[in-house]
Amino acid sequence: MHSLPNSFLVAFSFTVLVDASGSHYWSSPRHRTVAHRQLSGETYMIQDFYQGEDFFKDVPPIYDWTFDVGSDPTDGNVIYQSQSDAQSKGLAYINDSNNSLILAVDSTSTVAPGGQRASVRITSQKSYNGGLFIFDASYMPVGCSTWPSFWTVGPHWPTAGEIDIVEGVNNQDTNQMALHTGTNQTCTNEMTNGTQQFTGQIKKTNCYSTGRADSGCIIEDTDTSSFAYGFNNAEGGVFALLWDNSTGMSIWHFARANIPADLIAQTPRPSTWGIPAGFWSSQTCDITANFYEHQMVIDTTICGHWAGGGIYAQSGCPGTCSDMVANATNYINAKWVINYVAVYQYHIGSGAYAPSPRLPLTIILSLVIYLLLL
């Protein structure tokens, strides 16, 4: 890690994939016998729902997202903007016609090769210890040198862990999901009982991360609508992280046309969503010990440890990453269009639909009044 500006007290590290050699690829058996908890009366209730101006507000109970200011801890060629600077430069705004949030990279200024281009990184003020996290975007940053991500992270990286829900670089076809932990051998994504309980492909199995070896345990989606151009061509979609201490971490991706009706209706029932793209079982990962007090982060960096490493040339991208950053026109499509972010919490039983206690009281009162009138 490098000396970080104060605004990066939530120290972290992104996934760095040095090279694909030595990573493990299982032959994707895709068994459909999945042992996810099937809960009758499964109820998730909205805890926080962020949309439109919510991302710019600092007024409880609608908690704000902080605009992280300064250089990028992953050494990306960006300079993150304050809320007021981002708004005045047109890098953060709400589309009033439908309340979507746009977070963009500067696509009008020329900067020096290897220089720093203005971008945006926002972090939720509130932190979470579990739940169902929903990220709905209709467009994500694309193109050579870009490195967009939606992820969560706890304090004192990597002690309280990191969960990369959406992440990738350059012209990557599919989404790369990963966990990072601060202790060795307490969290892996080995297949339990020889059965793969997710549709993605394992690329790294040990979640333990240090400043020098911080790839984490990686599962790559196999669906090309999960990232970059494929995601945007599908009008985006939803990513869902279910963080459940007793079961594990599950991540689903749904292209716009395939978002479950229960999720659209804000009554999500993840047990009905089928096999997730990524799953890290609590049988091979001590979730409680490794993940706590996570804040959510949305950002776009350029080049940096991952996008600008050896993978840049391997991606078929032209020239060098440093030269790429100089040219404003390369960043016209480097923007997020975010419909909403929501966090749900599980409620045992049918709490959400319990009849109001006022109802019997109203009936009793009516009866009393009726009897008095007689």
Ligand X SMILES: *[C@@H]1O[C@H](CO)[C@@H](O)[C@H](O)[C@H]1NC(C)=O
Rank residues 228 and 337 by Cβ distance to ligand X and give the closer one: 337
Closest CB to ligand X among residues 309, 319: 319
Among 75, 173, 235, 286, the residue binding ligand X under the rule CB under 6 A is 235
Q: How many CB atoms lie within 10 A of CB 364?
A: 10
Within 44-103, which residues bind ligand X (CB under 6 A)?
95, 97-100
Task: Find the binder of ligand X among 265, 329, 348, 373 (CB under 6 A).
Answer: 329
Q: Does 327 bind ligand X (CB under 6 A)?
A: yes
129 binds ligand X (CB under 6 A): yes
190 among known catalytic residues? no
Indicate the residue among 79 and 328 with the shorter CB distance to ligand X: 328
Paired with 252 in beta bridges are 240
Q: Quick check: 245 binds ligand X (CB under 6 A)? A: yes
Q: Buried (b) or exposed (e) across 179-218, using 16+ Cβ within 10 A?
A: bbbbeeeebbbebeeeebbbbbbbbbbbbbbeeeebbbbb
According to DSSP, the β-strands at 92-95 and 100-104 are antiparallel
What distance in Å separates the CA atoms of residue 119 and residue 30, rounded to the nearest whole number? 39
Of 42, 53, 167, 190, the catalytic one is: 167
Q: Are strands 78-80 and 117-119 parallel, antiparallel or unpaired?
A: parallel
Residues 337-356 that bind ligand X (CB under 6 A): 337, 339
Q: Is-catalytic flag, 293?
A: no
Nearer to ligand X, 5 or 318 (CB): 318
For the segment 18-47, give every residue that binds ligand X (CB under 6 A): 35
Tokens coding 355: 């009849």
| Residue choice 281, 295, 301, 333 for contact with ligand X (CB under 6 A) | 281
SS3 content of the chain, % helix, strand, coil (to 5): 20, 30, 50
> Two tokens at 295?
């804040």
Tokens 């009554």 correspond to: 267
Per-residue mark of binding to ligand X, 174-213 (x: CB under 6 A): ----------xx------xx--------------x-x--x
Tokens of 100: 């979507």
Q: CA dist 140 to 40, 297, 361, Å? A: 36, 14, 51
73 or 237, CB closer to ligand X? Answer: 237
Encoded one letter per residue, x for contact with ligand X by CB under 6 A and - for no contact, window 135-154 reads ---x----------------
Q: Report the amino acid identity of residue 277.
A: A
Q: How far apart are CA 186 and CA 208, in angstroms?
A: 8
List contacts with ligand X (CB under 6 A). Answer: 35, 95, 97-100, 129-130, 138, 184-185, 192-193, 208, 210, 213, 235, 245, 281, 283, 288, 292, 327, 329-330, 337, 339
Q: Which residues are catalytic?
A: 162, 167
